[in-house]
Structure 1
C-alpha cells in the first residue's frame, strides 16, 4: 500500500517535471502532428499507384507514430535521466525509503504515457481532420504500438545507463534518431528510397517499428510480420537485461 501511494505521488512529480521542459513536450506531442499538417498542405491525399491506391497521408499517419516512439526512446529518456543523475536527483530518490523499482516503474509509466498522448493527438488529427481511414483491428494496432514503445524505451534506458552526462546523451540520441527518421520510413516512405538504402535500413530498429505498425494499421495479419515482432521482442529483452545491470543512480 505504501509503495502504491508512493508510486502515485512519483507520477505526479514526474508529470510536473516533464511539463517544465517545453522542448521535450513540443517534440513529443506536436512534432508529428505538425508534420502531418505540413504534408497535408504540400501533397494532399490523392490516391497514388506507388502506395497501392492510397494517398500519401494514408501512409504517413501510421509511420509518424514511429516518430513519436523514436523521439521518446532515443531523446527524452536518456536526456531526462542523465540530467537528473547530474544534478543528484536520482541519488536523492535512492536515499529515500522508496524501493528503486518504484522510481523506475514511475519513470517507465510516464514515458509510456507521453508516447500514448503523442500518438493519440496524431491519430485524432488524422482521423477527424483529414478523414484518414483506419483499415486494421484495434487490438493488432495496440499490440504493435505497445511492443514498439517498450522496445524503444528499453533502448533509451540502456543509453541512459551507459552515457555519462546530458550533453553526450543529447549528441548520441540525435545521431541515432535522425538517420532512423529518414531511412526507416518514419518520415520518408521507404518506397521512395533507393533499393540499396531500403535493404540497409533493415538494420535500423525503427524500420521494424514502421513496418509492424503500418501492417497493423492497414489490416494485414500480424503473422506476416513475425520477423519484426521477433526483432523488437529481442531488443526489449536484451536491452532490459542490460539496463537493469548497468543503470547508475549517481
Structure 2
C-alpha cells in the first residue's frame, strides 16, 4: 500500500508538469461547454426535445473527457514513460506491475473525473442545465464509461508504435469518433448511412447511455450500450495486460 501511495503521488506530480495534457483532460470540455453555451444559449429547442442546447450536449461533453483520456492522453503518457526509460527503471525495483497499473489508473481516473465534474459545473451553474434523471444513474454511466476508456487507453498504448504516432493516430481516432458518433447532432437528423457508421463507435454508445441517464430514461433502453462498453472493457483489458511492455 505504501508503494502504491508513493507511486500515485509521483505520477500526479509528473502529470502536473504536462500543462498541455492537463488542458485537454481538464479544461477543454468545460471550455467547450462555456463557448457553445455563450453562442447558442440554453433556451428550449424542438430539435432537442424542447431541451436547451447545453442540456442536450452536456452528456456528450462528459463522454468527450473520457474519450480524450482513452484515445490520447493515457496511451501517449504510457509511451513517453516507456521511451524515456522510466518504466524500465521501475521494473528494476521490487515494485509489482499491478501496483504500477493501479497507481496509473488511479491518477488517470482522478484527472478524468475532475474534467467531468468541471464540465457539469459549467453547464449547470453557468447555463442552468438541469439533471432530469437520477444522479445515481448518471454516476453509474460515468463509471462504466470511465473503466471502458481507461482499458482502451492501455490497449492502444500496447498497440501504438510510439508516442509520436500515438499523438497523430489518437487525435485522428478521437475526432473521427466524435464527428461520426452523433454526439452533437440530433439523431433524427442523421442519414441512415451515417447511422451505420455511428454504431461502430464506442463513443456513440457512451454518449447515448449518458444522455439517457441525464434525461431519466430506464437502463433497460440502453442494454446494447451497456453490453458494448462491457465487452470493450474485457477485450481491451485482456489486450492491455497481454501486450503490456516495460520498454521499447
TM-score calculated relative to the size of structure 1: 0.96
Give the corresponding residue for 2:13.
Answer: 16
Q: Secondary structure at the match of 2:237?
A: helix
Q: Is contact 1:60–1:189 with CA below 8 Å preserved after alignment?
A: no
Among 218, 221, 229, the residue aligned to 2:218: 221
RMSD value over aligned CA atoms?
1.2
How big is the shift at 1:200? Answer: 1.6
1:67 correspondence with 2:64: yes
Q: Is contact 1:162–1:247 with CA below 8 Å preserved after alignment?
A: no
Give distance in 2, aligned partners of 1:18 and 1:178. 23
How big is the shift at 1:199? Answer: 2.7
Q: Secondary structure at the match of 1:203?
A: coil
Among 204, 208, 212, the residue aligned to 2:201: 204
Give distance in 1, aligned partners of 2:170 and 2:178. 12
**Aligned runs of 1:1-250 on 2, under 5 Å?**
4-250=1-247
Q: How many residues align?
A: 247
TM-score calculated relative to the size of structure 2: 0.96
Give distance in 1, aligned partners of 2:144 and 2:186. 22
Give distance in 2, aligned partners of 1:190 and 1:115. 27
Query: How big is each residue's C-alpha offset from its partner over 1:202-243, in whole Å with a ceiling of 9 and x where there is no partner?
Result: 000100000000011111001110000000000001110111
Query: How big is each residue's C-alpha offset from its partner over 1:46-82, in whole Å with a ceiling of 9 and x where there is no partner?
Result: 2111111111111011110011000011100110000
Gapped regions of structure 1 (runs ≥ 5): none
How big is the shift at 1:188? Answer: 4.1
Give distance in 1, aligned partners of 2:107 and 2:183. 23
Give distance in 1, aligned partners of 2:27 and 2:190. 26
Q: Is contact 2:42–2:128 with CA below 8 Å preserved after alignment?
A: no
Gapped regions of structure 2 (runs ≥ 5): none
